[in-house]
Protein backbone atom coordinates (compact mmCIF):
# COMPACT_ATOMS: atom_id res chain seq x y z
CA UNK A 1 0.00 0.00 0.00
CA UNK A 2 1.31 3.45 -0.91
CA UNK A 3 2.53 5.69 1.89
CA UNK A 4 2.31 9.22 0.56
CA UNK A 5 4.35 12.32 1.35
CA UNK A 6 3.86 15.86 0.12
CA UNK A 7 6.87 18.14 -0.17
CA UNK A 8 5.65 21.72 -0.03
CA UNK A 9 7.46 24.67 -1.50
CA UNK A 10 7.04 28.44 -1.61
CA UNK A 11 3.66 29.48 -0.26
CA UNK A 12 2.95 25.93 0.88
CA UNK A 13 4.66 25.79 4.25
CA UNK A 14 1.38 24.38 5.50
CA UNK A 15 -1.52 22.88 3.60
CA UNK A 16 -5.16 23.89 4.06
CA UNK A 17 -7.10 20.85 5.21
CA UNK A 18 -4.03 19.25 6.83
CA UNK A 19 -4.76 17.88 10.29
CA UNK A 20 -1.59 17.28 12.29
CA UNK A 21 -1.24 14.14 14.41
CA UNK A 22 2.39 14.61 15.44
CA UNK A 23 5.72 15.99 14.26
CA UNK A 24 8.85 13.88 14.01
CA UNK A 25 12.44 14.97 13.51
CA UNK A 26 14.27 12.17 11.71
CA UNK A 27 18.04 12.16 11.83
CA UNK A 28 19.88 10.79 8.80
CA UNK A 29 23.51 10.16 7.92
CA UNK A 30 23.22 13.26 5.73
CA UNK A 31 22.05 15.50 8.55
CA UNK A 32 18.62 16.80 9.47
CA UNK A 33 15.80 17.47 7.00
CA UNK A 34 14.48 20.99 6.47
CA UNK A 35 12.12 20.61 9.42
CA UNK A 36 10.28 17.91 11.35
CA UNK A 37 8.09 15.60 9.29
CA UNK A 38 4.43 16.36 9.86
CA UNK A 39 2.32 13.21 10.21
CA UNK A 40 -1.39 13.73 9.77
CA UNK A 41 -4.34 13.59 7.44
CA UNK A 42 -5.23 15.67 4.42
CA UNK A 43 -9.00 15.79 4.13
CA UNK A 44 -9.18 12.54 6.07
CA UNK A 45 -6.44 10.70 4.15
CA UNK A 46 -3.11 9.83 5.83
CA UNK A 47 -0.12 11.81 4.62
CA UNK A 48 3.31 13.03 5.67
CA UNK A 49 4.11 16.67 4.92
CA UNK A 50 7.56 18.24 4.66
CA UNK A 51 8.15 21.95 4.14
CA UNK A 52 11.09 22.05 1.73
CA UNK A 53 12.29 25.50 2.80
CA UNK A 54 11.65 24.98 6.52
CA UNK A 55 8.62 25.90 8.60
CA UNK A 56 9.48 29.61 8.43
CA UNK A 57 10.64 29.53 4.80
CA UNK A 58 14.23 30.40 5.71
CA UNK A 59 16.19 27.87 3.61
CA UNK A 60 16.99 29.09 0.07
CA UNK A 61 16.81 26.59 -2.82
CA UNK A 62 20.57 26.07 -3.14
CA UNK A 63 20.93 25.32 0.59
CA UNK A 64 18.11 22.80 1.00
CA UNK A 65 19.48 19.50 2.30
CA UNK A 66 17.75 17.47 -0.40
CA UNK A 67 19.55 14.26 0.59
CA UNK A 68 18.41 14.47 4.21
CA UNK A 69 14.84 15.33 3.14
CA UNK A 70 14.52 12.33 0.82
CA UNK A 71 16.34 9.94 3.13
CA UNK A 72 14.15 10.95 6.10
CA UNK A 73 11.00 10.29 4.09
CA UNK A 74 12.32 6.93 2.92
CA UNK A 75 13.30 5.99 6.47
CA UNK A 76 9.75 6.47 7.78
CA UNK A 77 8.35 4.24 5.04
CA UNK A 78 7.24 6.74 2.39
CA UNK A 79 6.85 5.14 -1.04
CA UNK A 80 5.26 7.93 -3.12
CA UNK A 81 6.01 11.66 -3.15
CA UNK A 82 4.05 14.56 -4.57
CA UNK A 83 6.37 17.54 -4.87
CA UNK A 84 4.68 20.93 -5.02
CA UNK A 85 6.49 23.79 -6.73
CA UNK A 86 5.93 27.45 -7.53
CA UNK A 87 7.43 28.13 -10.95
CA UNK A 88 7.78 30.73 -13.67
CA UNK A 89 6.07 30.26 -17.01
CA UNK A 90 8.22 30.20 -20.15
CA UNK A 91 5.92 28.64 -22.76
CA UNK A 92 3.05 30.71 -24.11
CA UNK A 93 0.48 28.40 -22.51
CA UNK A 94 2.12 28.62 -19.09
CA UNK A 95 0.36 31.75 -17.87
CA UNK A 96 -0.12 32.88 -14.29
CA UNK A 97 -2.00 30.38 -12.09
CA UNK A 98 -1.64 27.57 -14.64
CA UNK A 99 -1.18 24.14 -13.06
CA UNK A 100 1.43 21.96 -14.77
CA UNK A 101 2.25 18.29 -14.26
CA UNK A 102 5.71 18.17 -15.89
CA UNK A 103 7.11 15.08 -17.56
CA UNK A 104 10.72 16.17 -18.12
CA UNK A 105 13.54 18.10 -16.43
CA UNK A 106 16.64 19.96 -17.56
CA UNK A 107 19.13 20.56 -14.76
CA UNK A 108 21.02 23.90 -14.68
CA UNK A 109 21.99 23.71 -11.01
CA UNK A 110 25.55 23.41 -9.75
CA UNK A 111 27.40 22.72 -6.52
CA UNK A 112 24.52 20.84 -4.90
CA UNK A 113 24.97 17.45 -3.26
CA UNK A 114 23.20 15.60 -6.05
CA UNK A 115 23.71 11.91 -5.31
CA UNK A 116 23.77 9.43 -2.45
CA UNK A 117 26.66 7.62 -4.10
CA UNK A 118 30.24 8.42 -3.28
CA UNK A 119 31.36 9.55 0.14
CA UNK A 120 29.17 7.21 2.22
CA UNK A 121 28.86 4.20 -0.10
CA UNK A 122 31.22 1.41 -1.06
CA UNK A 123 29.83 1.22 -4.56
CA UNK A 124 27.64 3.21 -6.88
CA UNK A 125 24.76 2.40 -9.18
CA UNK A 126 23.57 4.18 -12.28
CA UNK A 127 19.88 5.08 -12.47
CA UNK A 128 17.69 5.25 -15.54
CA UNK A 129 16.50 8.85 -15.61
CA UNK A 130 15.00 8.84 -19.10
CA UNK A 131 11.60 9.62 -17.60
CA UNK A 132 12.46 11.62 -14.46
CA UNK A 133 8.97 11.55 -12.97
CA UNK A 134 7.12 8.46 -11.78
CA UNK A 135 4.42 7.39 -14.23
CA UNK A 136 2.16 6.26 -11.38
CA UNK A 137 2.36 9.60 -9.54
CA UNK A 138 2.01 11.63 -12.73
CA UNK A 139 -1.03 9.66 -13.84
CA UNK A 140 -2.55 9.97 -10.40
CA UNK A 141 -2.14 13.75 -10.50
CA UNK A 142 -3.57 13.96 -14.02
CA UNK A 143 -6.55 11.84 -13.03
CA UNK A 144 -7.04 13.88 -9.84
CA UNK A 145 -6.98 17.12 -11.83
CA UNK A 146 -9.76 15.83 -14.05
CA UNK A 147 -11.85 14.62 -11.12
CA UNK A 148 -11.35 17.93 -9.32
CA UNK A 149 -12.29 19.92 -12.41
CA UNK A 150 -9.01 21.86 -12.29
CA UNK A 151 -7.61 22.82 -15.71
CA UNK A 152 -4.00 21.69 -16.00
CA UNK A 153 -1.26 21.00 -18.51
CA UNK A 154 -0.50 17.31 -18.82
CA UNK A 155 3.17 17.73 -19.71
CA UNK A 156 5.97 20.24 -19.44
CA UNK A 157 9.73 20.57 -19.18
CA UNK A 158 10.91 21.87 -15.81
CA UNK A 159 14.14 23.87 -16.06
CA UNK A 160 15.84 23.74 -12.66
CA UNK A 161 18.04 26.78 -11.97
CA UNK A 162 20.37 27.52 -9.08
CA UNK A 163 18.68 30.51 -7.45
CA UNK A 164 18.02 32.19 -5.21
CA UNK A 165 18.07 35.02 -7.76
CA UNK A 166 15.64 34.92 -10.63
CA UNK A 167 16.96 34.39 -14.13
CA UNK A 168 17.99 36.98 -16.71
CA UNK A 169 15.91 37.42 -19.84
CA UNK A 170 18.81 35.98 -21.87
CA UNK A 171 18.95 32.89 -19.67
CA UNK A 172 15.23 32.35 -20.18
CA UNK A 173 15.67 32.69 -23.95
CA UNK A 174 18.37 30.02 -23.79
CA UNK A 175 16.16 27.77 -21.67
CA UNK A 176 13.31 28.22 -24.13
CA UNK A 177 15.60 27.17 -26.98
CA UNK A 178 16.54 24.13 -24.88
CA UNK A 179 12.88 23.18 -24.65
CA UNK A 180 12.00 24.31 -21.12
CA UNK A 181 8.39 25.35 -20.58
CA UNK A 182 8.58 26.26 -16.87
CA UNK A 183 11.42 27.33 -14.59
CA UNK A 184 11.96 26.64 -10.90
CA UNK A 185 14.77 26.24 -8.39
CA UNK A 186 14.06 23.03 -6.47
CA UNK A 187 13.28 20.37 -9.08
CA UNK A 188 16.83 19.02 -8.98
CA UNK A 189 18.43 17.14 -7.37
CA UNK A 190 15.20 16.28 -5.57
CA UNK A 191 13.84 14.18 -8.43
CA UNK A 192 17.03 12.21 -9.09
CA UNK A 193 17.65 11.57 -5.39
CA UNK A 194 14.14 10.14 -5.12
CA UNK A 195 14.93 7.87 -8.06
CA UNK A 196 18.16 6.67 -6.40
CA UNK A 197 16.14 5.69 -3.32
CA UNK A 198 13.49 3.92 -5.38
CA UNK A 199 10.77 6.40 -4.42
CA UNK A 200 7.90 7.17 -6.78
CA UNK A 201 8.14 10.93 -7.31
CA UNK A 202 5.98 13.37 -9.25
CA UNK A 203 5.58 17.13 -9.41
CA UNK A 204 2.56 19.42 -9.35
CA UNK A 205 3.72 22.90 -10.36
CA UNK A 206 1.80 26.14 -10.18
CA UNK A 207 2.86 29.03 -12.40
CA UNK A 208 3.06 32.14 -10.23
CA UNK A 209 4.70 34.53 -12.69
CA UNK A 210 5.83 34.85 -16.27
CA UNK A 211 9.54 34.09 -16.53
CA UNK A 212 11.88 37.10 -16.91
CA UNK A 213 11.58 38.60 -20.36
CA UNK A 214 8.33 36.76 -21.13
CA UNK A 215 5.93 39.29 -19.65
CA UNK A 216 6.00 42.86 -18.38
CA UNK A 217 9.38 44.43 -17.74
CA UNK A 218 10.52 43.46 -14.28
CA UNK A 219 9.02 41.02 -11.78
CA UNK A 220 6.23 42.14 -9.46
CA UNK A 221 6.69 40.13 -6.28
CA UNK A 222 3.34 41.32 -4.92
CA UNK A 223 1.67 39.71 -7.94
CA UNK A 224 3.64 36.50 -7.30
CA UNK A 225 2.37 36.34 -3.72
CA UNK A 226 -1.17 36.91 -4.90
CA UNK A 227 -0.88 34.21 -7.57
CA UNK A 228 0.43 31.77 -4.96
CA UNK A 229 -2.54 32.43 -2.69
CA UNK A 230 -5.00 31.98 -5.55
CA UNK A 231 -3.29 28.84 -6.88
CA UNK A 232 -3.23 27.03 -3.54
CA UNK A 233 -6.94 26.32 -3.81
CA UNK A 234 -6.48 24.54 -7.15
CA UNK A 235 -3.56 22.54 -5.77
CA UNK A 236 -5.54 21.59 -2.68
CA UNK A 237 -8.43 20.33 -4.82
CA UNK A 238 -6.05 18.18 -6.87
CA UNK A 239 -4.40 16.79 -3.75
CA UNK A 240 -7.75 15.98 -2.18
CA UNK A 241 -8.57 13.78 -5.17
CA UNK A 242 -5.04 12.39 -5.44
CA UNK A 243 -5.19 11.13 -1.87
CA UNK A 244 -8.23 9.02 -2.81
CA UNK A 245 -6.83 7.71 -6.09
CA UNK A 246 -4.96 4.49 -6.79
CA UNK A 247 -1.27 5.40 -7.26
CA UNK A 248 -0.80 2.32 -9.40
CA UNK A 249 -2.93 3.70 -12.21
CA UNK A 250 -1.28 2.80 -15.50
CA UNK A 251 -2.94 5.64 -17.35
CA UNK A 252 -4.98 8.72 -16.57
CA UNK A 253 -8.70 8.10 -16.78
pLDDT by residue (tens digit) across 191-235? Answer: 999 999 999 999 999 999 999 999 877 777 888 888 888 888 899
Kindly state whether residue 232 falls inside one of the protein's structural domains: yes
The C-alpha torsion from 191 through 196 and 199 to 203, rounded to 10°, is: 10
- The alpha helices in 97-152, defined as continuous H runs, are 135-148
pLDDT at 173: 97
Kindly state whether residue 248 falls inside one of the protein's structural domains: no
Helices then strands, counting H and E runs in the chain, come out as: 5, 11
Mean pLDDT of 28-36: 95
Whether residue 121 has pLDDT greater than 60:
no
Mean pLDDT of 173-178: 98
The answer to whether the Cα torsion of 221, 106, 243, 152 is positive or negative is: positive
Question: The domain that contains 165 carries what CATH number?
Answer: 3.40.50.1580
Mean pLDDT of 186-191: 98
Whether residue 5 has pLDDT greater than 90:
yes
- Selection from 162, 169, 156 nearest residue 91 by Cα: 156
Question: CA–CA separation, 110 vs 167, rounded Å?
Answer: 15
Predicted structure pTM score: 0.91
Kindly state whether residue 236 falls inside one of the protein's structural domains: yes
Kindly state whether residue 250 falls inside one of the protein's structural domains: no
pLDDT at 17: 72
Kindly state whether residue 17 falls inside one of the protein's structural domains: yes
Kindly state whether residue 251 falls inside one of the protein's structural domains: no
116 in Cβ contact with 197 (< 8 Å): yes
Domain housing 112:
4-242
253: confidence class by pLDDT, cuts 50, 70, 90: very low
User: What is residue 62's DSSP assignment?
Assistant: G
Query: What total number of domains does the chain contain?
Result: 1
Range in 9-13, 27-31, 217-221, 226-230 with the lowest mean pLDDT: 9-13
Kindly state whether residue 253 falls inside one of the protein's structural domains: no
Kindly state whether residue 183 falls inside one of the protein's structural domains: yes
pLDDT by residue (tens digit) across 146-170? Answer: 999 999 999 999 999 999 999 999 9
Range in 140-149, 172-181, 215-224 with the lowest mean pLDDT: 215-224
Output b/e per residue, 151-165; b: 16+ Cβ within 10 A. ebbeebbbbbbbbee
Amino acid sequence: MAKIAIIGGTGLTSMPGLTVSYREMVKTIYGAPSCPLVHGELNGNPVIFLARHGRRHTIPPHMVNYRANLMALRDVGVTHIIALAAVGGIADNCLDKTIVVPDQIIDYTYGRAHTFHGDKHDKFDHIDFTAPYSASVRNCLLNAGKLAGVPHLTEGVYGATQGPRLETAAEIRRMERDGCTIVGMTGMPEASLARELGLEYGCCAMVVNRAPGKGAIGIDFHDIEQNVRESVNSVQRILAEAMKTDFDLESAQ
